[in-house]
Structure 1
């Protein structure tokens, strides 16, 4: 009886911990998305130019690893907003470019709606079924290196359809990351809500950009 009560109490503690991480993660994610959107809007209004690709890479990975290092302190929150704000800044020039198209507003609205649908749909699936998605770790690791290789190839070679393949690959990759990260939270693999937040944010960002690129490519072919 004592062991049974202990097991019940442990399960209750675990469930409360999961609920706390989920609540903190989605709360911080909502604020990060709002802040990033505000920075993107300001960058659009200022007609800011897209930064050099090396500045983007150094800024993103530098702030990402800084946030990971500070994840257990209050400074981690500040670093989270610095990272998401920087990504919002890089988004502003991209949105301005699409707004310059005849149907740019429709493309952005469609990509945003599809991103929200995919994120909420995948999250709801994992939270409802509580399915363990840890088996996706191998796919995510392999996908990361394949996409990096494809992106490097796109810089040096003009291969027909490569950009389409990269965008489609990022949609699948980002979707897998959302499933994996959400599952990690509810199954105890992730207990730091700051890391969970930036992982989900990056997936949402990449998903939106990739869907926007796909819609733009298909629109130009009409």
Structure 2
């Protein structure tokens, strides 16, 4: 009987921990998305140019690793806002590019709506079914290197339809990351809500930008 009580208490503690991480993750994610959106809007209105590729890489990975290092301290929250704010800054010029198209507003709104539907749908699926998506780790690892290789090929060679294929690949890759990260929170693979937040944020960012590219190409005006 005592062993059953101990097992029951352990299960209750686990459920409480999962609820805490989920609540903190989605709360911080909402804040970062709102902050990033505000920065993107200000960057768009100021018509700032897209940063140099090296600046983007150094800024993103520098702030990402800084956040990972500070994930267990209150400074990690500030680093998270700095990272997502920087990503919002890079999004402003991208939005201006698409808003300059004849049907730019439709392209942006379609990408935004689809991103919200995909994220909410995938998250709801995992939270409702509580399926373990750890099997996606191999696909995510392989997909990362495949996409890197495809981007390098697109940089050096002019291959018809490659950009559309890369964008579609990023949609699948980001969707798999959302499933994997949400499952990791539920099943104990992720207990740090700051790392969970930035992982989901990056997936949402990549999903949105990829859908922008797909809708822009399909509109025939990109």
- Listed as ranges, the gaps of 5+ residues in structure 2 are none
CA deviation vs aligned residue, 1:160-181 (integer Å, no higher than 9, x gap): 1110110000000000000000
Deviation at 1:131, TM superposition (A): 0.1
Cα deviation code 1:170-198 (max 9, x no counterpart): 00000000000000000000000000000
2:188 aligned with 1:191, yes or no? no
- Give the match for residue 81 of structure 1: 81
Give the secondary structure class of the aligned counterpart of 2:219.
helix
TM-score (ref. length: structure 2): 0.99
Matching residue of 2:59: 59
Which residue number corresponds to residue 17 of structure 2?
Answer: 17
In structure 2, what is the equivalent of residue 103 of structure 1? 103
1:34 matched residue in structure 2: 34
| CA distance in structure 1 between the partners assigned to 2:16 and 2:221 by the alignment | 51
Q: What's the CA shift string for 1:13-49, capped at 9, x where partnerless?
A: 0000000000000000000000000000000111000
- RMSD between aligned alpha carbons? 1.0
| Alignment partner of 1:148 is 2:144 | no
Provide the rounded CA distance (Å) in 2 between the counterparts of 1:64 and 1:80.
8
SS at match of 1:220: coil
Structure 1 Cα separation of the partners of residues 195 and 102 of structure 2: 39
Q: CA deviation at 1:221?
A: 7.2
Match of 2:177 in 1: 177
Q: Deviations along 1:121-178, whole A, 9 cap, x unmatched?
A: 0000000000000000000000001111111111111111110110000000000000
Could you say what secondary structure the match of 2:146 adopts? helix
4+ residue segments displaced more than 6 Å:
none
Unmatched 5+ stretches in structure 1: none
